[in-house]
Structures are given as structure tokens and as C-alpha cells.
Structure 1
Amino acid sequence: MTNGTVDFHPRDMVGGLEKGLAIIEAFDEARPRLSLSEAAEITGLTRAAARRYLLTLTKLGYAEFDGKFFSLSPRILRLGYAYVSSSPLPARLQPSLEQISAITGESSSAAILDGTEIVYIARSATKRIMSIGLGVGTRLPAYCTSLGRVLLGQYDELGLSRYFATAKLERRTPKTQATESLLRAAIAAVRESGYAVNDEELELGLRSLAVPVFDSQGRIVCAINVGVQAARMSLADMPEKLLPPLLKAQDDLRRIV
């Protein structure tokens, strides 16, 4: 192992496990139910292979089948809960998020980067500010979120090039910056200022401000933010009102994460 990564030979890979996980990941908010043909198309597996994996998941209780469509069962939450329960990070973040919410009166969240997306690992919610519900396990595109831009700031030029080679950039609102040149400039600005502000790029009516969380070695381990409704706080007021409690939490967490 080097730098937190594992060196392995292709023969060390278990292809069946990789394909089984691909089947699980084929289900999402837009596709909660899949036919056999759809699952095969999404994963690139043959119908016969997709059928075997889906039937195995059903047999083990991780999926359900109604005679036409497959869907994930609640048992699948065990896989996500395994991370939450085994990692000390969410538990260490939660008190700080609750303190931020108490000070600002707004919802506060923490996320990590997973591929081209962020994944929420802890949250203190005071009110619902988005059309979709946010909670632990929610995934959102990194490029158009304040949390994501903070986390992308840790990449060097090669890392960013790899990110943009795989990220699907779309304009989610009229304000979304969705070109590589604009996003590189935005990420550079985050590195310079130490925080990221999102002005209705993910969803109209939603603004947020995020900062990185460092460990004792100065490495970014996650990001934390505060989200507000645009009608309640102007863009100009956000750094003055939201940055102090976030920076206080950033300083406190450096000693314990």
C-alpha cells in the first residue's frame, strides 16, 4: 500500500464482485425499478449475466422482483450503514454541524468526494431548502455544489483533468457554470479564498457556502457547508454571516478528524 491506495495486479480483481456492484449502482433516484433488459443495458452485461446477478441479489434479500421489474430492498441499506457505523468521521462531524445550525439557524452538511459526485456523510437539518430531500447517503454532482468545489480544490492539474474527462457537465439552472474553463477558474478561486460559494447553480432559490475540513497533517478529509434560501440571505451577506461558524468548526475538527 502507498499513500492510502492499494497496489494490485489485475488478477487480484474479483470480476463477479465488480459486476455485482455495478448492478446495484444501476439503480438510482431516476431508475428505482429496472427490467432485466434495462439492467443489462446500463451495466453493459449480457442479459444472462444480469439475470444471474439480479436473482442472486433477490435470493440474498438485497433486491425484490415483482415478475417484471427488479428493485432494491431495504436490506441494501446495510451496505451504506457499514460505512457510517465503521467510520468515526460522521460521528465526529455531527456535533460541529449541530453547533453551526444552532448559530446560523440554517441546515449544515458534510460530504466526501466519490468519483465525480459528492456523498453526504453527516447532516444537521433545520428546514427543507431543496426540492429533493437531503440526507446521509445523498449523492450530488461535485461541479455545481459548494461542497464539491471545495473538495475538487485538493486536486492538482492532472487530477482535475481526470475529473473533467469523466464528469458529465450540465446546466441544472440558468446560473450553473458548466464548462471546464469556468469551473477551473471557480476552483482556483476556492483555493485562493479558502471557501466556496454556490449561487443557485444546483437549484434555483438555493445558496450555500462551504469550507474544507483538514486533518492534523493538513490533508482535506471532507467539506462542510451551510445552505440557505436565496430569499433569506443575499450573496454579499453570506461570508460575513456563515463563514465564522464554519471556520470555527474547521479549526475544532482539525484536532479530532
Structure 2
Amino acid sequence: MPLSSRLAPPPALGKDAPAAPPAAPRPTPASSLDIYQGDPNFMTSLARGLIVIQAFTQQSPQMTISQLSVKTGLSRAAVRRCLYTLTKLGFAGAEDGQRYSLRPRMLSLSHTYTTSSTLSTSAQPVLERMSSTFRESFSVATLDGDDIVYIARTQVASRVMAVDLHIGSRLPAYCTSMGRVLLAYLPPDQLEQYLARVDLIPHTTRTITTVDKLRLALRSVRRLGYALVDQELEVGLRSLAVPVYAPNGRVVATVNLSGNAPRLPVFDMQTHFLTPLRNAATEIGSFLR
């Protein structure tokens, strides 16, 4: 090839040059409702109201109609109607008439679940006894979509970590000990679907961020019967979890111990807490019969 050809500048982009493909629209909570279009039994208005409720978080406890519209993907008119209804029923309100927030009455919804759930009501006293005995924080969670949801929890005040956890808190399953347990015992087809869609965000330098490594970690959980996650969600946070079995042999929940990594060495967690955790899981599971 002649030197002049190799050094020739690239052709200028003209009006006939192909345009860059438009960026794919970012999915929003509202877009998840598209699959239900045409379903006569699906209450879209109720679904929109639930989307608005779930938009409020610890990081965004107060939002305007415009902010909620952007965050949810719903129109301003739809958000306004949802907030109007929630306000009339006492579940939301706006002190200044612009920035809305949830009201304490919202707690009645979670209380209804915790008092009607056999798993939650049976687990709480078991965790409280464990916490009183060992002076550590214990939790029970179930899998909801790609997250774990805390349904029972005790926390020792002097052991509080940066992560503020309570009943109803959600955390990604892939980087938590309870999530690893629940994922490890999923039916194979459901696990493969999860691995195909999960976004493995690195929360710390220790977080597993490849599907192959996560798959190996889950196999280890099934082989050992427990999951120990060392500072993958938060630096300094170490946790140990075991499965809770239903009478039919299906894993329906998980119970864990979490605490400060320097104070809870891996060996101590395995030797001092694994058996008590398994005993607690068996006791909780017995209430499901």
C-alpha cells in the first residue's frame, strides 16, 4: 500500500454518513406495566399508585410531582392523581403543598404483613432470643425478585453498621449472605434466568462481579449448606447465613448473623455461630408445618 494512502486522513463525515444509533431508552418502573396491556383484570391505576409509593426512599423521602414523574416514568397527571388519592386516604401528604412524603399510616400496610405472616411472626422471637444470648444482630429474609427483603430483624445498638437495615429493607441478592443462600437453592431454570439478567455492581473491591464466579460461589453454598460473605456489600461488614426449610423441603427463607468484620473473624463465625444459626433455622421452619 502506498505511503500516501496509509497516511491519508479519514473521509469527512458528510450528510450521507450513517447517524449513530439512538441510545436505548432507560427502563422506568412505569415501563414494567407494559406487559399487562390488554389484561382486563389488571388494575393499572392501583399499579401506578404502588409505583409512586415505592419511589420514596431513604435517599429521597420528599419529592415534587415533577421529580416523581421523572423517577417513575409516569406522566405528571398520573402522579398527581396517585398523590391526591394517597393524601385523601392519609398515606401521603405535602406540608408545603409541593414536596410530598409518605405518612406514618403507611406503616399499617407493613404491619398487616408482619402480623399475618407465619414466617415473620415465628421468626421474630427466635431472633430476639438469639440476640439476647449472643449480643449480635440477626435477621430473616426472603427472596423478592432480584432482592432479599427483611421480614424479621434484631439489631444490637452498639453494633450498628453504615447500612441502615430494618424490616422491609431490600438488598441485592448476589452480594449478601442471605441472598446467596436463597439463590443457591432456586430451581435451576429460575437461577439461570436470574444470572442472565443480573447486573453485578461492585459495592466494594471484594464484590463478585462476574457470573462465573457467582455461579461457583452458589455451588459452594449448596455444598456447605451456608453462605459466608466477607465485605462484598460494605467494607467492614461480614455475614453468615443458613437456609430455612419448609416441610416440603423447599428453602423459603434464610437466617443470618451480621457484624463488624474485625470483631468477627471468619473462623469464629464458622465455629461459634454456624450451629446456633442452623438450630434457629430449624426452629423457625417448624412453625411452618
Establish whether TM, by shorter chain, passes 0.5: yes
Look up the equivalent residue of 1:107 and give its one-letter code.
S
Identity %: 44
Whether 2:115 is the aligned partner of 1:97: answer no
Whether 2:190 is the aligned partner of 1:196: answer no
Q: Is the 8 A contact 1:123 1:135 kept in 2?
A: yes
- Residue 261 (structure 2) aligns with: 230
Look up the equivalent residue of 2:84 and give its one-letter code.
L
C-alpha distance after superposition, 1:122-176 (max 9, x if no partner): 1122233311332211211111110111111122332123324544421111111
Q: Root-mean-square deviation (CA), in Å?
A: 1.8
Kindly report which structure 2 residues correspond to 1:56-205, keeping only aligned pairs within 5 A, or say none. Answer: 56-65=85-94, 66-127=96-157, 128-205=159-236
Q: Is the 8 A contact 1:120 1:136 kept in 2?
A: yes
Look up the equivalent residue of 1:132 and give its one-letter code.
V
Distance 2:183 2:72 in 1: 27
Q: Which runs of 5+ in 2 are unaligned?
A: 1-35
Whether 2:207 is the aligned partner of 1:207: answer no
Distance 2:66 2:208 in 1: 35
Q: Is the 8 A contact 1:195 1:210 kept in 2?
A: yes
Deviation at 1:213, TM superposition (A): 0.5
- Residue 275 (structure 2) aligns with: 244
C-alpha distance after superposition, 1:3-44 (max 9, x if no partner): xxxxx9922211111111111111112221222122112222
Whether 2:58 is the aligned partner of 1:29: answer yes
Look up the equivalent residue of 1:157 and give its one-letter code.
P
- Residue 53 (structure 1) aligns with: 82
TM-score, normalization by structure 1: 0.90
- Residue 3 (structure 1) aligns with: none
Classify the secondary structure of the residue corresponding to 2:276. helix
Distance 1:52 1:168 in 2: 33
Distance 2:285 2:110 in 1: 25
Pairs aligned (count): 250
- Residue 16 (structure 1) aligns with: 45
- The structure showing larger relative contact order (alpha-carbon pairs under 8 Å, at least 6 residues apart) is 1
TM-score, normalization by structure 2: 0.81
Deviation at 1:252, TM superposition (A): 2.4
Distance 2:280 2:174 in 1: 24
